[in-house]
Structure 1
Amino acid sequence: MTGADGSTATKSARVPWWPLLRLREAATAPRARLLVFPHSGSGPNTLFPLVDPLPDHVEVLGLSLPGRERRFGEPPGCRLDQVLDSVADEVLGRDPLPTVVFGHSLGALLATRAARLLGPHCRAAVVSGQAPGRTPRRAHGTTTEADAVRLLRDGGGTPEWVLRDPDMLAHVTRVLRADIDLSREAAVGFEDVRLDVPLHVLGGTADPLVPHEPLDGWADHTTGACQVLRFDGDHFFLLADAYRPTVVDVLRRALAEG
């Protein structure tokens, strides 16, 4: 298994976990694959508006963690090695296709680490709403349920009805805190993670959770080209009507690089 430091254990110790959800079939014979890694507390369908307009030949798979969407009834919480090894095993067990990883927030950390395991299959990476290297991450200061609720309110993106429903809010904060534990694990040694593919970095200039000033530091995470785009928006700028077409265009260009 792959740890935060990149070390591996024997493959025989792995247990199939099938974490990937098919978000969209390719309408024609697939010629490219996009792996979607969502933000903390959410599932891949949240980012479906960004992948639905992509070319028909693109197969789209999304990381589906316990406690949400199709896995709502499962208790949240998983280890980094479990996530990364399961993703790599499932992807590498499919027909080989040029692959692009796309992650937002927590998903950006996971996507970058997954890209390393996919080796030459990964042709480009798109990361959004996440700090590079050792930059302090506000979410990692979340230790209580009250902290988690505050993070949900400040970050935006959570429907008001969820914030007003005690039972649903308790579930969402439980999932969020489990994901933050995963994010902390993924951040250990992240400054040493290097790719050799083009890297596209997206961020919001008014993001209350991730400052946009350090985003240029993502260039240290690849030997390839690194493009940084800033948007006048908050943590979920990428889903705003005004910016969604631009984000979709970035994904199209990343897929074309394969």
Structure 2
Amino acid sequence: MHTLMFQPRFVGKALRSPGPSLSHARAVTRHISAVSSTSESGEGLGLVSAQREWEIGSRYWWPFSNFDPPSYLDGSLPGDRGFDPLRLGETWGNPPDDSSSPSSRIGWLLEGELYNGRVAMLAVLGVLVVEAQGKGPWWNAVNLSGTAGPTFAAGVVGLHVVFAFLEKQRIENFEERGEAGHFGLAPFDPAGIRNDYNRQAEVRNARTAMLAMLGFWTQAWVTGKGPLENALDHLHAPFENNVFTYGDKGIKVVAVFLVASVVVHLAELSRLKARAKGEN
């Protein structure tokens, strides 16, 4: 990433400082190299070309043209729209390379976002397929599987053991190469389809899937129905079946989303004002 701290002269000084151990310095160096990579191979978290020629609409999420994103959101990572109103890139996360730099945190947060987004994409598909097959809402699918309790529990434990092993490999990949990957491969691209456009598309689809799952959970709580049944009800009678016609639960959902939206925008506005005041 193209920030001051990643210029070669500063990286060299960090390695000569007496603070970190040699092994830690090497780990940080490997991580910085991988995150800031823009080689033709596309390896590392960084995009080969951060021009966003495939994006539609504004370059950034903030609706005003004079928006100035945080310095660590420079467009070199897939899905970067300058969105970090809560400053998670500065304060949150604990990358396994022990680096406290915003760029390292952002790389680690991106890995987490991708992981959760991929799980959400699989979950959305599973939710829709289960309901489309007439097996009822998705939360009842386990009860209809016909699997004995001990067998089901053993399967869950076994899957967790496998996931723990795979996660250990992902953490080791991030420490060594600056990218988690999968199954010991970083980057994970067995089909050879890795490019800037596909990586950007994956982030967008991952975010959409996470929002979709949030919607499924909310619908289940408000209406007690699955997403397909809710969609059919709404299409049949849109003015009789919507979030405002389900009483207090629907109103609470609308209120929560409105409050969250206001908080996010106020946080970003506060950051912009503080930045402008500091420059003056």
> Same fold by TM (over 0.5)?
no
Say which structure is richer in strand.
1
Which structure has the larger Rg? 2
TM-score calculated relative to the size of structure 2: 0.22
TM-score calculated relative to the size of structure 1: 0.23
